[in-house]
Structure 1
Amino acid sequence: MRPQEVRGLWLGLLGVAIFALTLPMTRLAVGTPDAPQMSGVFIALGRAVVAAALSALFLLASRAPLPDRKDWPALAITSAGVVFGFPLLTSIAMRNVQAVHASVIVGVLPLATAAVGAWLHRQRPSAGFWTCAALGSALVVAFALLKGGGLALHPADLLLLAGMVCAAIGYAWGAQLSQRMRAEHVICWALVIALPLTLPLAWFTLPRTPMPPAAWWAFAYVAVFSMWLGFFAWYRGLALGGTVRVSQVQLVQPFLSMMFAVPLLGETLDGVTLAFALAVIATVFIGKRMPVRPQTSQEPA
């Protein structure tokens, strides 16, 4: 493996370690149904505003050029996925599910990212790849039904699954942009272009009552690290090591999230949750090894 690829893997792992704290910190900031703290909408949009302010300073300090006209649509899609979609959906959901529970849902993210990336780069995943994708998704749904105690998915689980789709889209388009732009500039521009929407909405949903310091510390983490610095490492790692190779380090994210949730939130990790997490990760690991062929020029895009 080339030194550049090794560096990409380590940067990717750093990004994943930072992202792994996102769900526990979000849970700490939004509270529980019995003891609510900040609203999920404020957590999602407020953290984007803080990160956008830091991004504007960074873009000025690094004398970043304006993105090419052809890159604006991809930046808009990246922003929709990782600035709006994923943060909003997961922040709203986290008041109603424990971080350990949500970590199992996150287990499908590597496979979802690979699927979106394959479509974006006009590749043809094998039948084995799609079989693993379907099995992993079925395991996640089965876990949500089992833990929900009914025959219908809890609305929070549906929000988490939709959030995984948004994250996969934002990761895939952001990784593609990182081949043409500085990886750090990708997330910065995605945040800055969203500011006309995030700033007024965050102000409108700003907490009007005092919040405990722990909630504000958790908010600060997701704003500075989850929404900003984590993407510096993540997109740089994808650019250096390749999306397919580096995205595999996401396999450790559910387990890191669980490890952080137990001491931070006092949650428990039972055998059923761990078994489902291992099964989902196994499908992702096997699916990553299934062949993905380039699409021929005769085939439709």
Structure 2
Amino acid sequence: MTAQDSATPTTSIAVSSGTLLAALGVVAFSLTFPATVWGMESFGPWSLVAVRSVLAALVAGGFLLALRVPVPHRGHWAPLTVVAGGVVVGFPLLTTLALQTSTSAHAAVVVGLLPLTTAAFAALRTRRRPSRTFWAAALAGAGVVLAFTVQQSGGALHTGDLYLFGALLVCAAGYTEGGRLAAVMPGWQVIGWALMLCLPLAVAGSAVALAYEPVRLGTHGVIGVLWVAAGSTFFGLYVWYRGMAQIGIAKASQLQLAQPLLTLVWSVSLLGERLSPAAPLAAVAVLVCIAVTQRTGG
């Protein structure tokens, strides 16, 4: 048996493991919008974002302290700042503001453009260039998502979509830098240090927001804020960055094409939102695109 032959099973296991981890991240992210809607039953939008960041940072800080993780190298702080600004502050804030006027299902479908946005950022930031087939499938998936969005909104985009499009850009930048960092440090440390970087701002923001926005604690509100803090922000980003490190940023990003459709299911079952008859057709089309992107060089 040659060295190449012996390496093949290991490589296959690594790819399968990376795909599973990234898929777990997508499932965790798919619950974010419904959980945010629940959270806003108890908190205002600004206090919800600030409190979730503080709680997630406390979880991350506990792990970092317990395991005595050394402080990152000085050269890692710049990309960690991009991660913090994109996925810890920017995306949660912009999407929470959007959910004041948009439904969870609508927001989820708009954010379905994130895989293509992330792949574009990754192509610009790294030297890897996905194949033409990969780009064709990614564009097709994005086209399905966009068409579904327009159909859902009656042919016109909501005002909250401006927030959502901004969220796409900052999140794609954060995903790209986080994915690159996850190749040199564990994914949970990437999001952990990004959260710690934001902790002073999150604490100050919580103090100000809680003083101005009323808090009405309820079961849904508490579950919502706990999930977006521990489930989406910490666990979701941990497995997501680890998966990206194993299978590549561009390929992992395409798994998120399934995220809007998963969120539609949660929106119906948890929030009672109505599901469009077009959703099953969109689901099949998007899953085909995912299959193509996962079989091409990314």
1:258-280 Cα deviation digits (max 9, x unpaired): 11111100112112355456556
Residue 47 and residue 145 in structure 1: after superposition, are their counterparts in 2 closer, same or farther (change >3 A)? same
For 1:262, which of 259, 268, 284 is the aligned residue? 268
For 2:32, which of 22, 28, 49 is the aligned residue? 22
1:55 aligns with 2:60: yes
1:163-210 Cα deviation digits (max 9, x unpaired): 122221111100100111121110000010111211111221125342
1:216-265 Cα deviation digits (max 9, x unpaired): 11111111111111112111111233333333322321221111111100
CA contact (8 A) 2:115 2:254 kept: yes
**TM-score, normalization by structure 1:** 0.84
Unaligned runs of 5+ in 2: 1-10
Taking the aligned partners of 1:98 and 1:68, their CA distance within structure 2 comes to 42
1:236 aligns with 2:246: no
CA contact (8 A) 1:29 1:215 kept: yes
Residue 53 and residue 200 in structure 1: after superposition, are their counterparts in 2 closer, same or farther (change >3 A)? same
CA contact (8 A) 2:141 2:257 kept: no
CA contact (8 A) 2:258 2:283 kept: no
Residue 209 and residue 14 in structure 1: after superposition, are their counterparts in 2 closer, same or farther (change >3 A)? closer
1:107 aligns with 2:117: no
CA contact (8 A) 1:46 1:202 kept: yes
CA contact (8 A) 1:30 1:39 kept: yes
1:191 aligns with 2:195: yes
1:181 aligns with 2:185: yes
What is the aligned partner in structure 2 of residue 13 from structure 1?
23
1:60-113 Cα deviation digits (max 9, x unpaired): 111111111111110001111001111001111112222222221122111111
CA contact (8 A) 1:111 1:284 kept: no
1:214 aligns with 2:224: no
1:161 aligns with 2:165: yes
For 1:201, which of 199, 205, 213 is the aligned residue? 205
Residue 149 of structure 1: CA displacement? 4.0
Residue 146 and residue 42 in structure 1: after superposition, are their counterparts in 2 closer, same or farther (change >3 A)? same
Residue 28 and residue 209 in structure 1: after superposition, are their counterparts in 2 closer, same or farther (change >3 A)? closer
Identity of aligned residues (%): 37
What is the aligned partner in structure 1 of residue 5 from structure 2?
none
What is the aligned partner in structure 2 of residue 69 from structure 1?
74
Bigger mean CA deviation after superposition, 131-140 or 38-47: 131-140
Unaligned runs of 5+ in 1: 32-36, 293-301
What is the aligned partner in structure 2 of residue 295 from structure 1?
none
1:2 aligns with 2:7: no
Residue 263 and residue 42 in structure 1: after superposition, are their counterparts in 2 closer, same or farther (change >3 A)? same
Taking the aligned partners of 1:20 and 1:119, their CA distance within structure 2 comes to 27
Taking the aligned partners of 1:126 and 1:9, their CA distance within structure 2 comes to 19
Q: How does 1:85-96 map to 2 (within 5 A)?
A: 85-96=90-101
